[in-house]
Copies of this chain bind each other. A is one copy, B any other.
Amino acid sequence: MKIGKATQVRSGICTSNAQAIIVRGHNLSDELIGQINFADHFHLLLTGRMPDAATSAVLNATLVAIAEHGMVPSIQAARMTLAAAPEAMQGAVAAGLLGAGSVVLGSSETAGRLFLRVEEEAKNHGGDLQAAAHAVVTDLRAKRQPIPGYGHPEHKERDPRVDALFAVSLKAGAPQKYVEIAKIIEGVIPGIVGRDLKLNVSAAIPAVLLDVGFPVNALKGVPILARTASLIAHLNEEIADPIGFALAYQATREQEYTGSVPAGFKPE
């Protein structure tokens, strides 16, 4: 069945013959293996460009920053899945990644789009980013929409990873345009929202990445890739010291049943 109009299959990422695998124009075995680190290879795969030193520093830092944050829901889902299906580590990783959605890890992308919107809006304000940020945040509030990347359930102060990422970006000599926009938004929030909502790591990541030219459509890929590393670490721990079923047991110890029961049924 034909869906849509396109029928030609094409891609610019990889080709190969019997002797060589070519990735983004480079011979994989001769020019890439042993020559570049994994995050740089990710950048090359994604953009077709070798990252410069600043980009490499920033991308590695964001991946390190977002990889691990304890026994979050997606890690729990993955560990329960491995306990139930130990034959398929890939399934447990997949179950964990499926929780990288709009509520939890997706705000890296939506925060990035917020910065681009403020940048665009500034054109209506003679380039004044402050005024643009004010207009955009005011509009979000009017529509009762969240401000992605601001506020955190645990860290009421600014998440310490934010300052660390900004320091890496600055030290690496990366442009600071989106970092500036991110901070300006943080600054206008109290006046509009009525309380502090500090920049969190999901805003810092797109800020420093957009500043080194990372593609906005792939922003969500950064927490996905980073979290995959963490998932594998937790699954390796799960194999050695299983808690998957213990998590499920603990979760329901105080569960309440809100439905009806037949006459004579006695709960345990």
Contacts and interface: CB of A to CB of B under 8 A. Distances in A.
A48 to B, nearest CB: 7
A92 B37 CA distance: 25
Interface of A: 1-4, 6-34, 36-39, 41-42, 45-46, 48, 57, 59-61, 63-65, 67-74, 76-77, 80-81, 83-95, 97-106, 153-157, 160-161, 163-165, 167-168, 171, 215, 217-218, 220-221, 224-226, 228-230, 232-237, 239-262, 265-268
7 contacts: A3-B73, A3-B245, A12-B257, A20-B160, A74-B81, A85-B98, A225-B229
Contact of A97 (B22, B25, B90): B90
B265 A20 contact: yes
Given A74-B84, A86-B102, A237-B13, A262 B25 contact: yes
A30 B61 CA distance: 12
Contacts of A68: 13-14, 21, 23, 28, 45
A3 B89 contact: no
B87 A102 contact: yes
Report the copy number of this chain in the oligomer: 4
Contacts of A74: 80-81, 84
A182 to B, nearest CB: 16
A65 B33 CA distance: 6
A103 B228 CA distance: 21
Contact of A42 (B34, B98, B101, B229): B229
A240 B225 contact: no
B65 A80 contact: no
Given A87-B87, A87-B102, A89-B224, A9 B243 contact: yes
| Most B-side CB within 10 Å, residue of A68, A77, A99 | A77
A204 to B, nearest CB: 10
Contacts of A63: 38, 41
Contact of A232 (B95, B102, B224, B232): B224
Contacts of A229: 38, 41-42, 45-46, 225
